[in-house]
Amino acid sequence: MASLGEQLKKLRKTSKLSQKTLAENIGIAQSAVANYESGYRVPNREILIKLADHFDVTLDELLCRVHEKTDWIEISDIFLKSVMKEEYKAAYVILAHMLDNGISPNEIYLKVFRYALAKIGWLWETGMITSADEHFITRKIDIIMDEVYHKVEYEGVKAKSVKAIRVVGMAVPQEAHTMPIKMIMHLLSFAGVETFFIGTSVPVEALSEFVRKNEIDMVILSITMQEFEVDLNAYMDRVQNDIILAQKRFVVGGKAALKIKISNKSIDLTVVSEYEELLEVIK
């Protein structure tokens, strides 16, 4: 699949333009054109529009219709590369453009965000980035994800509700990885489910009051790191003794969900490992 840089170079040569001439026509430095063509940088939205207008092509054509291809890993790599180079606007433009051209938010979340986050984790595990880098990059993706979410909500791109149900989601006690459960809350919201994301380590008493006050039907807990198995079990013991929470449905999901054992079996609890499994539980 051609990259944006390759497509830009092809259009420039077809038009018989030098990098210097194109740069002057667009109003940018020649070095910027060189960086775009080599893939070292990604144009921001304003420059993308100027380039598309200059060559009389659509943004879709300039971006090589990447969203119509099946190579979602490459698309996600392009997105992640932009984030890691601090080209945040360009990273968002890629996703906003895909939404504008009919790609569902589910595909962006499950095939772009999910892979990007997995790759960040791999980069940290292999020592290619530090934990500080991992946290910083993840936070930037979190911000972009919020922008995508607000765009979808504003434009009303929602599916028919899978079920009239109110769901609250949080990471298990001590678990700092909140992005997975936040993504799940967004996806369920896109599916028409009323969702509430409350972060991590919410005390049982506070959760109970929140569930009562907001008439919550289901609680979803996310666990990414297996080391928090003990904390989760201690939490579920307290849940069992709470008069309100003991009557609610609980779902435990996340990367470590199938690696742990939950000793408490007296409440309605289901363990899932994938979003699709969660949908089946809700239905």
Residues 37 and 141 in one domain: no
Burial (0-12, 13-18, 19+ Cβ within 10 Å), 14: exposed
- Residue 201's contacts (CB-CB under 8 Å, 6 or more residues apart) are 170, 171, 173, 174, 175
Helix orientation angle between 30-38 and 4-14, rounded to the nearest 10 degrees: 120
The CATH number that applies at residue 240 is 3.40.50.280
Number of domain units in the chain: 3
pTM: 0.73
Of 122, 157, 192, the residue at which a domain comes to its end is 157
Of 64, 80, 111, the residue at which a domain comes to its end is 64
Residues 193 and 257 in one domain: yes
> What's residue 111's pLDDT?
92
Q: 10 Å Cβ neighbour count for 255?
A: 16
Task: Report, as ranges of residue numbers, the positions in the chain whose pLDDT lies below 70.
Answer: 1-3, 40, 60, 64-70, 157-163, 264-265
The CATH number that applies at residue 22 is 1.10.260.40
Residues 171 and 273 in one domain: yes
The CATH number that applies at residue 83 is 1.10.1240.10
Residues 220 and 241 in one domain: yes
Residues 92 and 141 in one domain: yes
What would the pLDDT profile of 140-184 be if each residue is shown by its tens digit?
999 999 999 999 988 775 555 566 799 999 999 999 999 999 999
Burial (0-12, 13-18, 19+ Cβ within 10 Å), 249: middle
Q: Copy the structure tokens of residue 216.
A: 């919550």
- E strands, the chain, are 166-171, 194-200, 218-222, 249-253, 269-271
> What's residue 66's pLDDT?
47
Containing 252, the helix (H) or strand (E) segment is: strand 249-253
Residues 114 and 197 in one domain: no
> Which letter does DSSP use for residue 127 in this model?
T
Q: Copy the structure tokens of residue 16.
A: 């018989």
**Is the separation of the CB atoms in 254 and 181 below 8 Å?**
yes
Residues 175 and 137 in one domain: no
Its domain, for residue 84, covers 68-157
Rounded Cα distance, 283 and 281, in Å: 6
**Is the separation of the CB atoms in 135 and 121 below 8 Å?**
no
> Residue 166 — φ and ψ, nearest 5°?
-110, 125
DSSP 73-94: HHHHHHHHHHHHTT-HHHHHHH
Of 133, 157, 181, the residue at which a domain comes to its end is 157
Residues 51 and 121 in one domain: no
Containing 210, the helix (H) or strand (E) segment is: helix 204-213
Q: Copy the structure tokens of residue 217.
A: 């039907």
